[in-house]
């Protein structure tokens, strides 16, 4: 989510030389692969039913489509598809995921990639969009049981009902929806996101084996056990407060989160990827980002923003990503 650069507190985690060598132990469920294979198989039993309705945006240089597709449980998920006007394709496409408590917003918020000659597919996050960017997708299957306000603890006592099982499945189906549009080149798909969106891009880079590239910026939900130990900032603060109340069940909580921890996806990912990290980030602490990066099995590189918080490289990172995408895709 956006963060005020001036008001961001200074947060110091580890020295950079230690971060580059940091390779913590992973807590991997024995049925991790089977869990996700079954989850995606159940989702794909529903027709994708991707619909792209032309949207009156008043843009002369960009075509906009209001998207609906079937995500987890066949639930309708909203999105946007934007492409340079008059370009029929096949175009490279950047599938973008949104930060915590934000939604797909409005089309004019997503003009960077079409201006650079790419199509972009923006996935709405179910049940989110009330914090900083509007969303339009309800969550028909909220997790049962107690929860701290927010999404991080929703259904957290049971991996089957956990919120991020649904959201990460939606993220995979978003790639499939983007590939179904005739203007999109299915072999030139990039996934991208910041914070929660970066965590989603990381997961998808492992769950979808034939992507062209991934931009994984200050990713959330990586090395979660450490994150909760070293920061009280939300969203991880939600989890800390929840475990303080359910103090005898903390291991159950983390056993569920292990199914979505970015380190466990990282060791499975083969997608070429560019990460970014900010060394004064108290929301996604740098050691948690480097934990995922150092475990990442595919070709990789990382931008390090020494004096920044959760905003990371911000517009400078965006420009760097456009240049990298051109280099990778030709």
What are 62-106's pLDDT values in tens digits? 999 999 999 999 999 999 999 999 887 799 999 999 999 999 999
Q: Are 158 and 146 in contact (CB under 8 A)?
A: no
Question: Which pLDDT does position 305 carry in this prediction?
Answer: 97
189 or 147, which is more confident: 189
Lowest-pLDDT choice from 55-59, 273-277, 318-322: 55-59
| H/E run at residue 186 | strand 184-194
Residue 111 Cα distances to 51, 73, 80, 90, 108, angstroms: 21, 31, 11, 19, 6
Which residues have C-beta within 8 Å of that of residue 227, sequence separation ≥ 6? 236, 284, 285, 288
Helix (H, G, I), strand (E, B) or coil at 133: strand
Q: Are 312 and 279 in contact (CB under 8 A)?
A: no
Residue 321 sits at the vertex; the CA angle it makes with 268 and 221, to the nearest 5 degrees, is 40
Task: Give the active site residue among 139, 234, 310, 314.
Answer: 310
Give the up-direction half-sphere exposure of residue 139: CA atoms within 13 A in the CB hemisphere. 23
Q: Can the peptide bond before residue 72 be classed as cis, meaning omega within 30 degrees of 0?
A: no
Residue 312 sits at the vertex; the CA angle it makes with 231 and 61, to the nearest 5 degrees, is 135
Lowest-pLDDT choice from 7-11, 24-28, 73-77: 7-11
pLDDT higher than threshold 60 for residue 151: yes
Given pLDDT bands bounded at 50, 70 and 90, which one contains residue 127? Answer: very high
Helix (H, G, I), strand (E, B) or coil at 39: helix
Q: Are 216 and 198 in contact (CB under 8 A)?
A: yes
The verdict on whether 281 is a catalytic residue reads yes
- Can you tell me the distance from the alpha carbon of 294 to that of 292, in angstroms, rounded to the nearest whole number? 6
Task: Give the active site residue among 66, 170, 261, 281.
Answer: 281
82: nearest Cα among 51, 97, 103, 61: 61
Helix (H, G, I), strand (E, B) or coil at 102: strand
Residue 289 Cα distances to 10, 161, 210, 283, angstroms: 17, 26, 23, 11
The verdict on whether 195 is a catalytic residue reads yes
- Tokens 């970066």 locate to 198
- Can you tell me the distance from the alpha carbon of 114 to that of 105, in angstroms, rounded to the nearest whole number? 16
pLDDT higher than threshold 80 for residue 21: yes
pLDDT higher than threshold 60 for residue 7: no
For residue 307, give both structure tokens.
């004096």
Note the Cα 94 to chain centre separation in Å. 13
Residue 177 Cα distances to 26, 44, 71, 199, 207, angstroms: 32, 12, 10, 20, 15
Residues in the chain: 330
Task: Give the active site residue among 125, 195, 205, 287.
Answer: 195
- Can you tell me the distance from the alpha carbon of 152 to that of 164, in angstroms, rounded to the nearest whole number? 8
Q: What is the pLDDT of residues 191-234, one digit of tens each?
A: 999 999 999 999 999 999 999 999 999 999 999 999 999 999 99
Q: What is the pLDDT of residues 211-220, one digit of tens each?
A: 999 999 999 9
Lowest-pLDDT choice from 14-28, 137-151, 171-185, 254-268: 137-151
Provide the whole-model pTM.
0.94
Q: Can the peptide bond before residue 17 be classed as cis, meaning omega within 30 degrees of 0?
A: no
């Amino acid at each position: 989510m956006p963060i005020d650069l001036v008001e961001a507190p200074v947060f110091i985690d580890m020295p950079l030389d230690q971060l580059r060598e940091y390779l913590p132990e992973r807590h991997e469920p024995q049925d991790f692969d089977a869990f996700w294979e079954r989850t995606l198989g159940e989702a794909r039993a529903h027709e994708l039913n991707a619909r792209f309705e032309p949207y009156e945006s008043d843009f002369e240089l960009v075509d906009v489509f209001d998207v609906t597709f079937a995500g987890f449980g066949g639930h309708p998920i909203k999105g946007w598809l934007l492409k340079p006007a008059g370009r029929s394709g096949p175009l490279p496409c950047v599938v973008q995921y949104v930060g915590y408590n934000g939604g797909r917003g409005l089309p004019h918020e997503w003009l960077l990639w079409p201006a650079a000659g790419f199509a972009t597919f923006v996935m709405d996050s179910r049940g989110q969009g009330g914090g900083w960017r509007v969303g339009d997708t309800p969550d028909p299957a909220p997790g049962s049981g107690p929860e701290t306000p927010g999404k991080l603890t929703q259904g957290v006592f049971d991996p089957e009902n956990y919120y991020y099982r649904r959201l990460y499945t939606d993220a995979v189906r978003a790639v499939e929806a983007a590939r179904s549009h005739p203007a999109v080149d299915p072999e030139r798909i990039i996934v991208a996101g910041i914070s929660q969106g970066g965590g989603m891009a990381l997961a998808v880079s492992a769950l979808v084996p034939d992507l062209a590239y991934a931009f994984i910026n200050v990713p959330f939900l990586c090395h979660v056990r450490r994150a909760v130990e070293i920061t009280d900032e939300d969203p991880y603060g939600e989890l800390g407060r929840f475990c303080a109340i359910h103090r005898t069940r903390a291991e159950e909580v983390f056993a569920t989160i292990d199914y979505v921890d970015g380190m466990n996806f990282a060791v499975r990912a083969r997608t070429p990827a560019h990460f970014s990290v900010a060394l004064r980030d108290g929301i996604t602490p740098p050691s948690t980002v480097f934990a995922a990066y150092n475990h990442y099995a595919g070709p990789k590189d990382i931008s390090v923003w020494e004096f920044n918080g959760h905003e990371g490289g911000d517009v400078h990172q965006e420009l760097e990503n456009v240049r990298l995408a051109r280099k990778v895709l030709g």
